[in-house]
A and B are shown apart, each in its own frame.
Chain A
Amino acid sequence: MLRLILSRLVSLAITLLAVSLAIFLILEVLPGDPAAIMLGTSAREDTLAALRQELGLDQPALLRYLQWIGGLLQGDLGTSITYKMPVSTLVAERMNVTLPLSFLAILISTALALPLGVAAAARRDGPVDRAVLVFSQLGVAVPNFWIGLLFILFFSTWLGWFPAGGFPGWGNGLWPAFQALLLPAVALALPQAAVLTRVTRSATLEVIGADFVRTARAKGVDKGSTLRRHVVPNALIPVTTILGLQLSFFFGGAILVENVFNLPGLGRLAYQALNQRDLVVIKDIVLIFSGLVIVVNFIVDIGYAILDPRLRSRA
């Protein structure tokens, strides 16, 4: 088990380094001069030069890359070109929105999908199964930002139960912050829940048909216990794979949902930074997103080993 974790950690570090180089190179060839964007079309050439120097944009590319990586290793993410403040502070503020939003969405998605999928599989072609199939078809077809718009129309504008967007900050109490995150989290969760429900249903169906399940039933174990003790644990393995893949969609999907609900999250910061060519912020955020996906995959890998004893002994 320890060897498995170590070897995965090494490949994690190498992947991150390769990603950092790729990000840097892509941003080098991306057209756009942050100084010209900051100063507008009336700025004089000497003013532009002064700002470029202030931002360190006049230095060679290799030096800038090394400075970036060197800073990262010391925990320094650099200073935002547009906001003129440490990126670490900016990112930390935004993480306070995006992470709770994503985790709330994951929670809602799994809480919906697992019971629905299992229930649907337990009575194939029954009324629950049919309802679940309709729900999952709809959920896969409808994009999350559109669900978000409908939610705002219904719950905020019409019923007035929730704010129409924005985020009051955690400083103003847990409830208002939770209230601001709930609708976007559901909007983010529904399409993913639909996918996960389908996967859970088919994985459960597959296990239900397996020989050992029939054996358990033949031995006299009742239907409920078979489902709980034999079917669900085995069905969880493919479900975990999909869930791991979905986690990156939660972070990515957050960009759209954050825009619709006007939430000051990491996704919107990335979008804004790209518009303004705030290269420092873009580099850091893309690296953080990549890092999150890589780390999540690492955790999923370890998760397999826990769920499936065969993987443990093999490693």
Chain B
Amino acid sequence: MTKRLLTAALLLAVSVIPAHAAKTSLVVGMPIEPPGLDPTVAAPVAIREVTWVNLYEGLVRIDKAGKVQPLLAKSWEIAPDGLTYTFRLQEGVKFHDGSTFDSADVKFAFDRARDPKSTNAQKQIFAPISSIETPDPATVVIRLKETSGNFLYYLGWGDAVIVAPETAANNAANPVGTGPFKFKSWTRGDRVELTRNADYWQKDKTKLDTVTFRFISDAQAQVAALRAGDVDAFPNLGASELFAEFQKDARFKAVAGNTEGETVAGLNSAKKPFDDVRVRRALMHAVDRKTLIEGAYSGFGQPIGSFFSPNNPAFVDTTNVVPYDVEKAKALLKEAGYGDGLSITIKSPQMAYASRSAELLSAMLSEAGVELKIIPTEFPAKWIEEVFKAKDYDMTIVSHTEPLDIDIFARDSYYFNYKNEKFKALVAEAAKTTDEKARFAKYAEAQKILAEDVPALFLFQLPKLGVWNAKVQGLWENSPIPSNDVTEVSWTE
């Protein structure tokens, strides 16, 4: 009797489930757990990879191609002098706690970010602002002290998302935004769960009901989780040497794209012998980028000749400015007075791409008569103290993952110790230029200056090795901004 009842119940249960419903849950794997869920108070990329446009939204957003698109602002006007931005806001938008979004929230969010006590990691976004006015709930007028060509673009970053005054202080542990997903739970050390926001202002934009971000640091464990089906997608897999296997496996889609991370071997330009541009160029001539990428990242990753992301529309290819040429390297070293050889050190962090690159660099430079000794260092803690702050190094290697960060070579106190007034003026000018074409031309020139001056050995763009279930659609191939935008992800049947 019980058996028959059970069978009946089972049949009933099965018949209720529609025959071909597509899955509406997604499990996304990430290597690093975010330390909190508020992108406006801390720098880590992992915070943005969970929250950006999924939980929080800004006035504008960056799209797959790296372009600015409207979001909470449906339109804007820029006054002819480039100093006044008038944003028209979407109406009927609600925060996850039910409160209404309006111009006062925008003013609050930006004032909070530029407050002297704020710990926003990208305060320079807000530096040009002189005042924020809210003539009515659906309009925000922002006045700038000086023109800023990238102001709109920066407003698309995670650091500039709109938060509400009632909830902002608790966002790190209990995030409240206006995005298509709401925060459900955070099992620290394991996962963050999001659920669909039923009141989202763009109806039917998202197809998923739940999104789970799981944090798996070990590269082997990442592969195991994908193969066992515990995780549906790993937007950036750690095990580059196993990526090719996923490319051959029909159950998975494996796409190698670009991140915003320029991997560079920084040179201490204030220190002998790196103050001599001939030495810097000689070192660059001695590097075969293709072989380096083969060894350091299993052949994935685009060679770069300067400090600009190939994702950015203003990118120009400069890899031929100082090409691989060992004879030229030797000649330049001789000319600079190092014909008998040169002995230098590299402080190499523990990340696989960095330590492998350091070993390959050491082998390549020895061909040109340069002895490169590797000194391991711990990233981030020790590296920040020794290299970044104390500038106690010859050469180092790290990937700079912020988008549009060419201006770090124009900063006086930055660890490269690079000083080029012409470059500095050019970058400052580019940042102020509102005309896109003119701005891109200036960035192109700035890229060429760096390629010729070699304040760092420009090696390769850190790849984004995405692996996901072949039935999952809508994930990004490249990451023009640190993110895992799942708002348009769906499953095919």
Contacts and interface: CB of A to CB of B under 8 A. Distances in A.
B220 to A, nearest CB: 6
Nearest to B43: A40
A139 interface: no
Nearest to A269: B189
Q: B interface, by DSSP: helix, strand, loop or mixed?
A: loop
Measured as residues with beta carbon below 8 angstroms from the partner, the interface class of chain B is 35 or more
A31 B382 contact: yes
B190 interface: yes
B188 A40 contact: no
Interface of B: 33, 35-36, 42-44, 116-124, 172-173, 187-191, 214-218, 220-221, 224-225, 227-228, 230, 380-382, 384-386, 388-389, 400, 402, 405, 408
Nearest to B214: A166
Contacts of A85: 173
A231 interface: no
Contact of A277 (B33, B172, B381): B381
Contacts, number: 144
A11 interface: no
B225 A83 contact: no
A38 interface: yes
A50 B119 contact: yes
A83 B188 contact: yes
Nearest to A31: B385
Contact of A82 (B36, B189, B230, B408): B36
Measured as residues with beta carbon below 8 angstroms from the partner, the interface class of chain A is 35 or more
A32 B221 contact: no
B388 to A, nearest CB: 6
A263 B210 CA distance: 22
B43 A149 contact: no
27 contacts: A30-B381, A33-B384, A36-B380, A37-B380, A37-B381, A39-B42, A47-B123, A82-B35, A83-B172, A83-B188, A93-B188, A94-B189, A157-B224, A160-B228, A163-B228, A165-B216, A165-B221, A165-B225, A166-B190, A166-B225, A166-B230, A260-B220, A262-B221, A263-B190, A264-B188, A269-B189, A272-B189
Interface in A269-289: 269, 272, 275-277
B43 A264 contact: no
Nearest to B224: A164
B187 A264 contact: yes
Given A42-B124, A264-B187, A272 B386 contact: no
Interface string A138-179: 000000000001001100110010011111010000000000
A44 interface: yes
A170 to B, nearest CB: 11
Contact of A165 (B33, B173, B224, B388): B224
Given A31-B386, A261-B221, A262-B215, 15 more contacts: A31-B385, A33-B385, A33-B389, A42-B43, A47-B119, A47-B121, A50-B117, A83-B35, A84-B36, A152-B221, A157-B224, A165-B221, A165-B230, A260-B221, A275-B380
